[in-house]
Amino acid sequence: MAVKSLKEFLAATQEKDLSSDAFELESPYMLEVRVDGRVWAKSGAMVARKGAVKFTREGVLERGVGNLLKKLATGEGLRLMKAEGQGRVYLADMGKKITLLRLEGDSVFVNGNDVLAFEDGIDSQITMMRKVAGMMAGGLFNIRLSGQGIVAITSHYEPMTLPVSAQTGPIFTDPNSTVAWSGTLTPEVVTDISLGTLLGRGSGESLQLKFAGEGWVVVQPYEEVTFQTKP
């Protein structure tokens, strides 16, 4: 690896202003948010800030009673914070790769652990997979994001998108590797009894998500365990 002078290092790592959007990637792992009003972000994701920006945890009933009840039912949930004011905020999440999605009236479901930030104009609703909740401690929760604006999601390494259609047939994924899917799809939780018997009762592969219809699903080359199996 070539040794850089201090001047070269500072020039290479200096923040960039290449876009007029509120969200801009400083690197594949660092997001700059230009706050002018309010933005929602994953709690604890801030690594730096400048300007008059105030951070507040999401209120108990801020996103409605329905979201609160689903959080209580699952015993978990995406912890959000509000960044309000004027300034710049820099966000990251354990070195995970960040992808920016611009929603134009679309909707997308994202694994609750993979939501990094979204603009204030985006509507967010918690959804829960009931069958998983019955089999796993805490269940599996997701966030439905819809409307107009930019959403930042994260993944371990490079994500891969699989198209889902009647021609391709259903797609089966590991819940711990599933990052997001189109709002047109409703996954079904299925259990592979033979695989579970072969690999042992605690095998994550015995529990899968089945996607059928028309849309797409995003997976990552990593199994991110966000819940544990019941004994």
pLDDT of 193 reads 62
pLDDT of 70 reads 44
pLDDT of 18 reads 84
Beta-strand pair 141-155/97-111: antiparallel
Q: Which residues of the chain have pLDDT under 50?
A: 60-61, 65-76, 133-139, 196, 198-204, 227-231
Beta-strand pair 228-229/136-137: antiparallel
Q: CATH fold of 20-155, please?
A: Double-stranded beta-helix (3.60.160)
Give 79-137 pLDDT, tens digit per residue: 889 999 999 999 999 999 999 999 999 999 999 889 999 999 999 998 877 555 444 44
pLDDT of 76 reads 47
pLDDT of 135 reads 47
What are the domain boundaries of the chain? 20-155, 157-225
Q: Using alpha carbons, list the distances in angstroms from residue 149 to 24, 51, 72, 87.
A: 13, 23, 28, 19
DSSP labels, the chain: -PPPPHHHHHHHHS------SSEEEEETTEEEEEEEEEEEEETT-EEEEEEEEEEEEPPTTTT-HHHHHHHHHHT----EEEEEEEEEEEE-STT-EEEEEEEEEEEEEEEGGGEEEEETTEEEEEEE-HHHHHHEET--EEEEEEEEEEEEEEESS--EEEEEBTTTB-EEE-GGGEEEEETT---EEEE-HHHHHHH-TT-GGGEEEEE-SSEEEEE-SS----SEE--
d(CA 39, CA 83): 5
pLDDT of 77 reads 52
